[in-house]
């Protein structure tokens, strides 16, 4: 069911197509971008090094290793000023050095388990009984205090196993894209999402309970705690971590915090409920890194060539950091590889952009968009006046990719309606590759928001979902094999063209009619 | 998308419906079966004990534990003569006592791994390099001889990661069922399946290579070998084992034979191909059991009450043994629980069948239908004359369930066309529950074949597939959570009714027009 990329050339009567009053698309350059991006792609080789070779890119050493590789790779392609730039203090790095969990009674079974990020250690192979906690009432928790020593904590859950009668992977249908194109701009929408609010409230209650339990568990000498999620299935685990533990000065503790397969979790719950004696054994060794507590972004440029415009900057970015249960292939080696590839394409075809083109590979995105937020704060906003700096004013546009491995189907305007007609024209040469849709809507959860919130034109592309929500996003299955090569080639080609157009356009991309308040 | 079971009663004008010349269905009893089976089911409790509580039921100790539980459970329900019966010599039992595999360079990653059945041990935590073998040519294998010591063997594979654009689970559509109903009877079909033959040939070549490699690996002191399958994905592994190693007198070896996740396997292949140094660590301890090398079936009865017919026997069966990577929930705790539940239903509603009803829970099915084959050989066929014994002649019918957790949609006739109209009538009271289809076709791979091959009327039911081929059949995910409670209740209800009808019918179920040769 995968759409096949059309590798045929675009034969158009004129090399300069004029769509609007100031947008003359250089079709010769766009054809060169297509040929380089679709027929001579290196995007999968880049992705291989960022995933299989580098390993997880959790904020800390895993990220730093990948960042240095990316810096060197960009330089090797001829991209200029490739560098790591510190954005401020972050916290302790962390990694797994050994991880093993099994049930040893009523019979032996290895359990699919991943320590949550910044989990502590058991320090040795430990045998343990389970303390089964059926209440999520923080007051009732106190009654378990005397029972915690040397136990592994298992919270009662009653997730129902559900076979997938719906495919894990999908692409946007024409109907869905039309619906997105016709969405009400965000400024005109009611802001009262009670479902979202009540979900956030439930999450906060659960987190408060977990924090309290964790504290009690540590005080009383528990060995570990297990958790799982309802959407975990078939060996796919959703795993993130408690980054409060990354705080500078925090003491690594002797409590292993493990995400396990939902099937194993439910087996343990059923056995405990039925009163069947259960024994576990576990051996978890994690390491905290305190030698460099700063956060870094990777930056590099293709310098602008127009004396009047070269100080203006078109930025393209993606976060390079990842969670740690796999190698962050779709979140976000995919976006990072696409952005690096877009730079490679432009450089290889000898693009001489009027404006400077700057790639940013962010870090700390998973813990709160730290890399991009701090870049904006450090460079683009004046702290004293809370207004854009000269450097900030010079940002022509920011483009982001961080929605997995799917090809580009269009772009989110984030309510910036004036950009719509421009992007509609820019998408035309890629309509045949499935990129067609302009939606006025917002999308959130990633680094274009750091620009958008200070009134700069920051955009994220619409991508086919593939298995993002079902199998890869923050899971132990976010690996190279879940990447779709043809989709990534298409994405890099579309991005390269957008960035080039933005760098050549007479004007910067318009900013929102009512500029957002510059915020910190 | 799950069909909801209709729990409404069947209100029919008469309690005795006459469909054919000698089939008077006792609708009062069928209604009792429905009520007990659908509204007071214990099938999931039985499944819980066979899976979560018992663990894997691999031929050997895991099976024996479950067999004893089933024997006791049947007795507790009032089923008579519940017993384990030895069917002959089998071989050594086997189980895992410890299993751990991780990559430690270029970075640390626990690998999802399951020792294949009858795998040897590493005896301790070992650190090892990979020997990457790119050829599957048995002659070329010799060139690796000197490189095997202390290595873990990885055979080159080039499986392509593929997202699931098709749902893992499905049910038969009306069109599919109609097509099955209209299939040509097997006797009239051409027997020249070249695709199947070439697949078998390819499998034999691969097996011969593996056997040779394994022998060489043991001789030269390799530590382990890794394997995976193309259909493995998302943490779901397909795992069986080399039961040649179960042979009595075979010596357990120091070679760990591990199935691993395809994502991990392909990462290792790509790293080796790229020349990136890779280190593994592994610790596998398995145990061989030699104290009882015999195979057993579980048998139990509801005795017949008609003096003329009580020596005749209606049998229902399912294999109770499983592979070991999970708890064999759909293969075949499902079928075993359904058959036990059918017995419980009949006993609970006070059924007094004319013929004796006998349940058989087979063993050694996964290694070649051993339990059922030997039962037939030991009881139903005279070795001297190669004809059915008196006991064999007295078998009225055999019904089998072994196609996973899906509800019953009909029955395979195995070419026994005369049984068609009878079963069509018997399905009528369950048409509302989705059981409608009679297919003349054969289905294979399970225990009804042991009866069919000696000319006895042995049948397997058609079941909805759910996730059988994608997620559960011989996988590490064949667990309780992948069972569908409503489907299993329906199946037990339909089976109980079929068995009761067969026990009450004036005549035994007709045998094939041209009786199959009695074979050994």
Domain edges within chain A:
18-90+293-409+443-504, 93-186+203-289
CB within 8 Å: A54 and B107 = yes
- Helix axis angle, A27-34 relative to A485-504, nearest 10°? 160
- Residue A106 at interface with chain B, using a CB cutoff of 8 Å: yes
pLDDT (average), residues B47-58: 98
Distances (CA, A) of A97 to A57, A284, B224: 15, 8, 22
* CA distance linking residue A243 with residue A238, whole number of Å: 16
The structure tokens 């060489």 sit at B216
CB within 8 Å: A56 and B107 = yes
Give B97's contacts in chain A (Cβ within 8 Å).
108
CB A155 within 8 A of CB A179: no
Give B54's contacts in chain A (Cβ within 8 Å).
106-107
Residue B341 structure tokens: 């539940």
* CA distance linking residue A156 with residue A265, whole number of Å: 9
The DSSP letter of residue A204 is H
- Chain A, residues 267-286, CB within 8 A of chain B, namely 267, 270-271, 274, 276
Q: How far is CA B92 from the centre of its chain?
A: 20
CATH architecture of the domain covering B93-180+208-289: 3-Layer(bba) Sandwich (3.50)
Note whether B18-90+300-504 and B93-180+208-289 share their fold.
no
- Chain A, residues 184-243, CB within 8 A of chain B, namely 234-237
* CA distance linking residue A120 with residue A325, whole number of Å: 15
CA-nearest residue to B115 within chain A is A110
* CA distance linking residue A319 with residue A364, whole number of Å: 8
| Interface probe, candidates B110, B119, B158, chain A, greatest A C-beta count within 10 A | B110
CB A48 within 8 A of CB B270: yes
pLDDT at A6: 37
- What integer best gives the mean pLDDT of chain B? 91
Residue B427 structure tokens: 């399905």
CA-nearest residue to A275 within chain B is B53
CB A311 within 8 A of CB A304: yes
- Residue A1 at interface with chain B, using a CB cutoff of 8 Å: yes
pLDDT (average), residues B76-95: 97
CB within 8 Å: B52 and A166 = no
Q: How far is CA B229 from the centre of its chain?
A: 19
Residue A161 is nearest to which of B114, B160, B482, comparing CB atoms? B482
The structure tokens 């999520």 sit at A136
Helix (H, G, I), strand (E, B) or coil at A28: helix
Q: What is the DSSP string of B56-90?
A: ---TTHHHHHHHHHHHHHHHHHT-EEEEEEEEEE-
Give A55's contacts in chain B (Cβ within 8 Å).
106-109
CA-nearest residue to B405 within chain A is A163
Average pLDDT per run of 10 along chain A, which is 520 residues long? 35 45 82 98 98 97 98 98 97 96 98 96 96 82 91 91 88 96 75 65 79 88 94 94 86 89 97 97 96 97 98 98 98 98 98 98 96 98 94 98 98 96 97 97 93 97 97 97 97 98 97 57
Q: B26: which strand partners? A: B16
Q: pLDDT exceeding 90 applies to what percent of chain B? A: 79
Q: How many CA atoms lie within 13 A of B199 on its CB side?
A: 4
Give B270's contacts in chain A (Cβ within 8 Å).
48, 52, 480
CB B402 within 8 A of CB B496: no
On whether ipTM exceeds 0.95, the answer is: no
Distances (CA, A) of A66 to A339, A369, B384: 15, 18, 74
* DSSP H or E run through A482: none
- Residue A168 at interface with chain B, using a CB cutoff of 8 Å: yes
Contacts for B133 with CB less than 8 Å, ≥ 6 apart:
B141, B144, B153, B154, B155, B156, B213
CA-nearest residue to B167 within chain A is A167
CA-nearest residue to B287 within chain A is A108
* CA distance linking residue A175 with residue A181, whole number of Å: 10
CB A223 within 8 A of CB A150: yes
Question: What are the pLDDT digits (tens) for B153-202?
Answer: 999 988 887 788 999 999 999 999 999 999 988 765 544 556 667 777 77
For A93-186+203-289, give the CATH class.
Answer: alpha beta
| C-beta pairs of B486-489 under 8 Å, 24+ apart in sequence | B486/B2, B486/B3, B486/B4, B486/B5, B486/B407, B487/B405, B487/B406, B487/B407, B487/B463, B488/B41, B488/B43, B488/B44, B488/B47, B488/B334, B488/B337, B488/B338, B488/B341, B488/B405, B488/B407, B489/B5, B489/B37, B489/B38, B489/B41, B489/B43
Q: What are phi and psi of A396, to 5 degrees?
A: -80, -35
Domain B18-90+300-504: give its CATH code. 3.40.630.10
CA-nearest residue to B106 within chain A is A53
Residue A392 structure tokens: 């900030």
pLDDT (average), residues B421-429: 97
Distances (CA, A) of A225 to A110, A116, A476: 16, 10, 19
CB A171 within 8 A of CB A465: yes
CB within 8 Å: B48 and A270 = yes
CB A156 within 8 A of CB A305: no
* CA distance linking residue B200 with residue B381, whole number of Å: 30
CB within 8 Å: A52 and B271 = yes
* CA distance linking residue A375 with residue B258, whole number of Å: 47
CA-nearest residue to B61 within chain A is A107
pLDDT (average), residues B211-226: 91
CB B117 within 8 A of CB B94: yes
Helix ranges (H only) for B380-444 are: 390-393, 419-427
pLDDT at B22: 52
Give B113's contacts in chain A (Cβ within 8 Å).
110
Rounded to a whole number, what is the distance in Å from the CA of B371 to chain A's nearest CA? 24
Measured over all CA atoms, what is the biggest interatomic distance in chain A, rounded to whole angstroms? 81
Among A154, A426, A355, CA closest to A266: A154
Give the gyration radius of chain A's Cα atoms: 25
| Interface probe, candidates A2, A272, A481, A482, chain B, greatest B C-beta count within 10 A | A481
Q: What angle do CA A486, A489, A495 make, to 5 degrees?
A: 140
Contacts for A184 with CB less than 8 Å, ≥ 6 apart:
A440
Classify B334 in phi/psi space as left (phi over 0), alpha (psi -120 to 50) or beta: alpha
pLDDT (average), residues B239-254: 85
Question: What are the pLDDT digits (tens) for B338-378?
Answer: 999 999 999 999 999 999 999 999 999 999 999 999 999 99
- Chain B, residues 443-502, CB within 8 A of chain A, namely 466-467, 471, 476-477, 479-484
Rounded to a whole number, what is the distance in Å from the CA of A235 to chain B's nearest CA? 4
Q: What are phi and psi of A249, to 5 degrees?
A: 95, -15
Helix (H, G, I), strand (E, B) or coil at A88: strand
Q: pLDDT exceeding 70 applies to what percent of chain B? A: 92
Give A228's contacts in chain B (Cβ within 8 Å).
none
CB within 8 Å: B164 and A163 = no
Which three-class secondary structure string do you get for B156-223? CCCCCCCCCCCCCCECCCHHHHHHHHCCCCHHHCCCCCHHHHHHHHHHHHHHHHHHHHHHHHHHHCCC
Q: A399: which strand partners? A: A316, A459
Residue A234 is nearest to which of B235, B266, B480, comparing CB atoms? B235
- Chain A, residues 385-424, CB within 8 A of chain B, namely none
CB within 8 Å: B261 and A235 = yes
CB within 8 Å: A483 and B161 = yes
Give A485's contacts in chain B (Cβ within 8 Å).
none
Residue A306 structure tokens: 């127009």
* CA distance linking residue A279 with residue A108, whole number of Å: 9
Residue B455 structure tokens: 């000319």
* CA distance linking residue B25 with residue B30, whole number of Å: 8
Distances (CA, A) of B383 to A49, B90, B310, B376, B387: 65, 20, 25, 11, 8
CA-nearest residue to B161 within chain A is A481
pLDDT exceeds cutoff 60 at B315: yes
Q: What is the DSSP string of B246-271?
A: GSTTPPP-S-EEEEE-HHHHHHHHHH
Domain A18-90+293-409+443-504 indexed as CATH 3.40.630.10: yes
* CA distance linking residue A246 with residue A62, whole number of Å: 14
Strands, E, within A78-227: which ranges?
Answer: 80-89, 93-105, 109-110, 113-115, 126-133, 151-155, 224-227
Rounded to a whole number, what is the distance in Å from the CA of B452 to chain A's nearest CA? 33
| Interface probe, candidates B97, B163, B233, B479, chain A, greatest A C-beta count within 10 A | B163
Residue B271 is nearest to which of A53, A102, A466, comparing CB atoms? A53
Give the gyration radius of chain B's Cα atoms: 25
Residue B56 structure tokens: 């894997």
- Chain A, residues 435-454, CB within 8 A of chain B, namely none
* CA distance linking residue A317 with residue B225, whole number of Å: 42
Residue B354 structure tokens: 């004319």
**Structure-derived torsion over alpha carbons of residues A35, A38, A39, A41, reported in degrees to the nearest 10:** 120
* CA distance linking residue B509 with residue A219, whole number of Å: 70
Rounded to a whole number, what is the distance in Å from the CA of A307 to chain B's nearest CA? 44
């Amino acid at each position: 069911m995968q759409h096949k990329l059309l590798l045929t050339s675009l034969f158009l009567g004129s090399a300069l197509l004029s769509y609007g009053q100031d947008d003359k698309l250089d079709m010769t350059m766009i054809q060169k971008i297509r040929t380089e991006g679709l027929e001579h792609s290196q995007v999968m080789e880049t992705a291989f090094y960022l995933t299989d070779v580098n390993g997880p890119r959790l904020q800390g050493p895993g990220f730093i290793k990948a960042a240095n590789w990316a810096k060197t790779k960009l330089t090797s392609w001829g991209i200029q000023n490739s560098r790591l730039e510190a954005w401020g203090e972050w916290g302790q790095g962390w990694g797994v050095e050994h991880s093993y969990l099994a049930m040893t009674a009523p019979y032996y079974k290895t359990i699919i388990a991943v320590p949550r990020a910044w989990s502590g250690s058991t320090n040795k192979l430990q045998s343990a009984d389970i303390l089964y906690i059926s209440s999520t009432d923080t007051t009732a928790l106190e009654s378990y205090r005397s029972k915690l020593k040397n136990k592994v904590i298992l919270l009662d859950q009653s997730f129902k196993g559900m076979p997938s009668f719906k495919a894990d992977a999908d692409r946007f249908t024409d109907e869905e894209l039309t619906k997105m194109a016709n969405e009400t701009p965000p400024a005109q929408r009611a802001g009262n999402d009670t479902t979202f609010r009540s979900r956030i409230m439930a999450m906060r209650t659960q987190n408060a309970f977990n924090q309290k339990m964790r504290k009690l568990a540590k005080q009383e000498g528990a060995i570990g705690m297990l958790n799982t999620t309802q959407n975990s299935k078939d060996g796919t685990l959703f795993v993130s971590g408690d980054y409060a533990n990354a705080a500078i000065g925090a003491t690594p503790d002797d409590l292993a915090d493990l995400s396990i397969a939902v099937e194993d979790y439910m087996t343990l719950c059923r056995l405990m409920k039925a009163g069947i004696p259960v024994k576990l054994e576990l051996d978890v060794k994690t390491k905290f890194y305190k030698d460099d507590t700063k956060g870094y972004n990777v930056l590099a440029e293709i310098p602008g060539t127009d004396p009047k415009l070269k100080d203006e900057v078109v930025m393209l970015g993606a976060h390079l950091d990842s969670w740690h249960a796999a190698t962050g292939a779709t979140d976000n080696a995919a976006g990072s590889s696409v952005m690096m590839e877009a730079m490679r394409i432009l450089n290889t075809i000898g693009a001489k952009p009027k404006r400077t083109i700057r790639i940013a590979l962010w870090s700390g995105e998973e813990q709160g968009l730290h890399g991009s937020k701090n870049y904006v704060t450090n460079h683009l906003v004046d702290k004293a006046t809370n207004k854009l700096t000269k450097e900030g004013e010079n940002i022509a546009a920011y483009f982001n990719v961080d929605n997995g491995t799917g090809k580009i189907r269009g772009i989110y305007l984030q309510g910036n309606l004036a950009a719509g007609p421009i992007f509609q024209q820019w998408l035309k040469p890629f309509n045949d590759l499935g990129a067609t849709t302009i939606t006025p809507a917002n999308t959130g959860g990633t680094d274009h928001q750091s620009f958008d919130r200070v009134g700069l034109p920051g955009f994220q592309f619409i991508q086919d979902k593939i298995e993002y929500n079902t199998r890869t996003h923050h899971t132990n299955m976010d690996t190279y094999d879940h990447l779709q090569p043809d989709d990534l080639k298409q994405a890099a080609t579309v991005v390269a063209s957008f960035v080039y157009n933005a760098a050549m356009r007479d004007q910067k991309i318009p900013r929102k009619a009512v500029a957002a308040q510059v915020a910190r």
